Amino acid sequence: MKVEKRWAKIEQILSNSGSASIQELSEKLNVSETTIRRDLVKMEEQNMIKRLWGGASVLESSLGDTRNYQDDYILKFSRNIEVKKALARYGASLIKDGDCIFIDAGSTTSCIAEFIEASDITLVTNAMNIFHILAQKKIRTYIPNGYINFGSAAIMSSETSQQLANMNFDLAFLGTSGIDQKAGFTTQSELDAAIKQSVLARSARTFILSENTKFNVKRFYTFASLDEATLITNGDPPFAMDRILVESP
């Protein structure tokens, strides 16, 4: 098993259980405990997990700790950049001249802006970190009302979802925190779920961009069932669903 796939499985196990011992990880991945120890050291160096005595856990920010906004932002937006850009590039290729689109705040969806080539489009977004790109490209942009969540670089509030519920989109690009066969597409935030649901209800076509590390991960709030959107991802899911596979770089 390649290191990248093993790390993805370790992240998935920790996301589901919160923590795991070296022995548990070794047994589940069918590799030696020495290999797991080495993996955990490297993963902690890259701010992917937190090492514990005899095991590891997810980072506090993954459990909803919002005290360290800057660290949370850096963690989300600096990992697996090339994969995220590959997914975003494909998403941008679906945008046609004259479309009205929504781009969700997220570490993958926010990459779409730099690859947009269509002209005369109207764009609505709650992703505050892409304003400079939209300005450079002179894209007509609308920003919904709300407060700033610095950990996710997102504008969100109950007012945000209410405003989006009155708009109509040809295309919408959403992010997700987890993809589960029964729970569907999920997120950790109730406000984020409400925003995504408002957009889904008003979009002719909705695409969800996600790395394959989020398969079999379930967060607290479901915002869509698996058949309500098309997934753009970089690996086959372990269950049947409508998806577009993009080759990883």
**pLDDT tens readout for residues 127-168:** 999 999 999 999 999 999 988 877 778 898 888 999 999 999
pLDDT score of 35: 94
| Predicted TM-score (pTM) of this structure | 0.73
Q: Provide the mean pLDDT of the chain.
A: 87
Burial 176-201 (b: 16+ CB within 10 A, else e): bbbbbeebbbbbebebbbbbbbbbbe
pLDDT score of 216: 87
Enumerate the β-bridge partners of residue 233.
245
Paired tokens of 205: 């076509």
Between CA 118 and CA 67 the distance in angstroms is 39
Please give the residue that has the higher pLDDT: either 180 or 60: 180
Q: How confident is the model at residue 114 (pLDDT cuts 50, 70, 90)?
A: very high
pLDDT score of 17: 64
With a cut of 80, say whether residue 242 has pLDDT above it: yes
**pLDDT tens readout for residues 40-99:** 998 888 777 888 777 887 765 444 444 444 445 555 666 788 999 999 999 999 999 999
pLDDT score of 76: 66
Residue 87 · residue 232 · CB < 8 Å = yes
pLDDT score of 64: 44
Percent of the chain clearing pLDDT 70 (strictly above):
90
Residue 124 · residue 167 · CB < 8 Å = yes
Closest Cα to residue 102, out of 189, 176, 195?
A: 195
